[in-house]
Amino acid sequence: MSSYLGIDLGGTIVKLGLVRGGKVLATERVAADSQAGLGRMLGPVGEAADRLLAGVNDLAGVALAFPGIVDFPARRAASTNAKYNDAPDIDVEGWVRDRYQVPFVMDNDARMALIGEWTCGAGRGTSHMVMMTIGTGIGTGVVIDGRPLYGRNGCAGSLGGHLVVDYRGRRCTCGNVGCVEAHSASFFLPQIVGEDTALSEAFRTDSANYNYKTLFDKYRAGDPDATRVVRGCMDVWAAGIVNYIHAYDPEKVVIGGGIMRSADIILPYLREKVYSLAWCPISKPEIVASERGDDAALLAAEYYFKHA
Ligand SMILES: [Zn+2]
C-alpha cells in the first residue's frame, strides 16, 4: 500500500493530509490569504508538506484541490473566481515533481470532496450521486454511471452553484445573473439581507455582520427576520437540488460544508421541499449530510492514482 498527499486550498486555510488506505493519517494546516495568490503560498505549503512526509518513504502521488475551474488533463488551474487569481500561471506540477518526484493531479475542490464522500463517506456504494458543498460559495460534483463526471472541459457537474434559479435575480461573481450561489452562498449574505426590504430596519442595519452561524442561531431563537433569510436560502438550495436531480438522476444527494452543523434544521426542510418539487416517478434520491467533513477532499488523493 502506498501513501498519498492531499492538499486542499481553502480561502483562509490550506489543509494538507497524508492519506493511506481510505484514511487521513495526519494533517497540517497553514493559514492562507487567497487574495495574496498561490505563488506566495507554495513556500509555507511546501514546509508543511515536508513535516507531514518526514519518514514517509512510499509517497505515490500528490493531489491538489483547487477552488476554481481546473483543466484536469493539463493539471493546471483554468479560471479563478476571486481566489488565488495567479494560479493559472503557476506550474504546480513542476513544483511537485522537483520536490517529491511523484505524479500530480489537480482537480476542482468540490469534485474532490465528492470523490472523497463517494469512495469513503456518505456516497459509498452508489453509482450515481451529487454532492453540494455550501459555504462562501457553492460547489458541486457529480458521479454518474459509476464515474466522476468531467465533460469536454472538465466543467461538467462543477458549476451547480451557478445554475440559474432566478433569471431576473442578483448579479453573481461569475458574471451571470440569479445563480444558486448569488442567492444563498455566505459571500452574498450581506446583500441578501441588506436588499430585502421585507426585513426589519434594525435587522438590515447589521447586514454586514451576518454569517450562517449567526443566522441559524437567531432562527433557532425564533427571530422572524432570521427565519425569513434562512428559509430563503434553504429554498434556493432546494431549487438547486431539484435541478441537480433532473439533470443527473442521482441515488443520493450529499450536502457538505460547515453549515451542516445545522443539519437537524436543513435536512428535513430540504427533503420536504425537494420531494414536493422534483419529478422523480421511479425512485426518489436520498438527501443526506456528508460524513467526512473537511477530510473529504483530502481522501480523494488516493482515488486518482489508483484509478489512473
Ligand atoms: Zn454565478
DSSP string, 246-292: HHH--SEEEEESGGGGGHHHHHHHHHHHHHHHS--SS-PPEEEE-SS
Helix, coil or strand: residue 171 = strand
pTM: 0.95
What is the structure's pLDDT at 307? 79
The phi and psi torsions of 19 (rounded to 5 degrees) equal: -115, 135
Residue 242 Cα, ligand 1 centroid: separation in angstroms?
Answer: 17
Contacts of 224 (CB under 8 A, 6+ apart): none
Residue 8 Cα, ligand 1 centroid: separation in angstroms?
Answer: 22
CB distance 62 to 5 below 8 Å: yes
Q: For residue 148, give the H/E element and its range.
A: strand 147-148
What is the structure's pLDDT at 98? 96
Residue 35 Cα, ligand 1 centroid: separation in angstroms?
Answer: 19
Q: For residue 61, give the H/E element and its range.
A: strand 59-66
What is the structure's pLDDT at 308? 62
Residue 308 Cα, ligand 1 centroid: separation in angstroms?
Answer: 31
Residue 225 Cα, ligand 1 centroid: separation in angstroms?
Answer: 26
Residue 240 Cα, ligand 1 centroid: separation in angstroms?
Answer: 12
Contacts of 187 (CB under 8 A, 6+ apart): 136, 137, 173, 181
Helix, coil or strand: residue 31 = strand
Q: Where does residue 32 fall: left (phi above 0), alpha (psi -120 to 50 degrees), or beta otherwise?
A: beta
Residue 162 Cα, ligand 1 centroid: separation in angstroms?
Answer: 4
pLDDT per position as a tens digit, 107-134: 999 999 999 999 999 999 999 999 999 9
Residue 178 Cα, ligand 1 centroid: separation in angstroms?
Answer: 7
Residue intervals in the chain for CATH 3.30.420.40? 3-114+294-306, 124-290
Residue 138 Cα, ligand 1 centroid: separation in angstroms?
Answer: 9
Residue 291 Cα, ligand 1 centroid: separation in angstroms?
Answer: 27
Instruction: Give me 307's grid cell.
Output: 484509478
Hey, what CATH class is 124-290 in?
Answer: alpha beta
| Architecture per CATH, 3-114+294-306 | 2-Layer Sandwich (3.30)
Instruction: Give me 195's grid cell.
Output: 436588499
Strands 69-71 and 76-79: antiparallel
Instruction: Give me 80's grid cell.
Output: 479563478
Residue 174 Cα, ligand 1 centroid: separation in angstroms?
Answer: 4
Residue 82 Cα, ligand 1 centroid: separation in angstroms?
Answer: 12
Residue 161 Cα, ligand 1 centroid: separation in angstroms?
Answer: 7
d(CA 117, CA 290): 7
Residue ranges in the chain modelled with pLDDT below 70? 308
The alpha-helical segments, DSSP class H, found in 92-211 are: 92-100, 109-120, 189-194, 201-205
Amino acid of residue 115: I
Residue 271 Cα, ligand 1 centroid: separation in angstroms?
Answer: 24
CB distance 150 to 25 below 8 Å: no
What is the structure's pLDDT at 34? 87
